[in-house]
Amino acid sequence: MAKKHGIKPNPLYQQGCSRVGCMPCIHARKSELAEIYTRFPDEIARVARWERMVAACSRHGNSTFFPSHQDPVKRERRIECVTLESHGIETYRDWAMTSRGGVSLTYWPKKMPIRRVAQSMRECVNE
């Protein structure tokens, strides 16, 4: 309908995003998260700052952007076991860059510079 009337879509749709509005969307696909981590690191940092601010006010001392019981690697329902270090938005980066199964680092974002790829590979090896 928009195309019929000459309305241009949000540029993020043309860059591979299927959901546009909230950044990042809690319902984003794994590949979209990888793109966001790579292309919009300031957004990840912004969400991480909010996680810290809300955690500081939280009765349990934690607050995570993604629900901890839906974490693809380490699902956790016991609130006392959830921390920003274990379940904060920054912990999703490594998982988002892997293929199905969450083990092999095979996702290569379209705009990722080779120097950054080499640096991230070196960090993975050194850990």
Q: Provide the residue ranges of all domains of the chain, joining segments of one domain with +.
A: 11-117
The model's pLDDT over 94-104, given as tens digits with 9 standing for 90+, comes to 777 877 655 55
pTM of the predicted protein model: 0.61
Sign of CA dihedral 104, 110, 115, 120: negative
Average pLDDT over residues 7-14: 80
Please give the mean pLDDT across all residues of the chain: 71
The pLDDT tens digits of the residues spanning 42-54 come to 988 998 888 888 8
pLDDT of residue 42: 92
Q: How confident is the model at residue 114 (pLDDT cuts 50, 70, 90)?
A: very low
Going by C-beta distance under 8 Å and a sequence separation of 6 or more, which residues neighbour residue 107? 30, 31, 34, 96, 97, 98, 99
State the DSSP string of the chain. Answer: -TTTTTPPPPHHHHTT-S--SSSS-TT--HHHHHHHHHH-HHHHHHHHHHHHHHHHH-TTS---SS-GGG-SSS----GGG--HHHHSGGGGHHHHTS-TTS-S-----TT--HHHHHHHHHHHHH-
pLDDT bin (cut points 50, 70, 90) of residue 59 is confident
By residue count, the chain amounts to 127
For 31, other C-beta atoms within 10 Å of its C-beta total 15
